[in-house]
Amino acid sequence: MIVYIITPEKIVYNGDTYCVIVPGIMGYFQIFNNHDSILSILDSGIIKIIQKKNILLFKINGGLVEVNNNIINIMVCDIEKL
């Protein structure tokens, strides 16, 4: 899967991933390869990107996530890499 984290100013992150965990408004949920297409609102919290050998963490104050054909677009206004 390919993940893009996008702000109005720039692409903060793009790369391959095994799994993404995002803070949905009803709680955290995981996105794996071949996940059904979704569009969901994100709450404040931590995005966890799990790669083969790394785990990346980003703190957000809400946003949107779109999943379609193994491409994950995460749109946020405020983001901080932890």
pLDDT tens, position by position, 10-25: 999 999 999 999 999 9
Specify the CATH number of the domain 2-81: 2.60.15.10
Rg (CA), the chain: 11
Q: Are 82 and 60 in contact (CB under 8 A)?
A: no
Q: Are 39 and 6 in contact (CB under 8 A)?
A: no
What are the boundaries of each domain within the chain?
2-81
Q: What is the mean pLDDT of residues 1-11?
A: 96
Q: Is the pTM of this model over 0.85?
A: yes
Q: Are 74 and 63 in contact (CB under 8 A)?
A: yes
Q: How far apart are CA 80 and CA 33, in angstroms?
A: 25
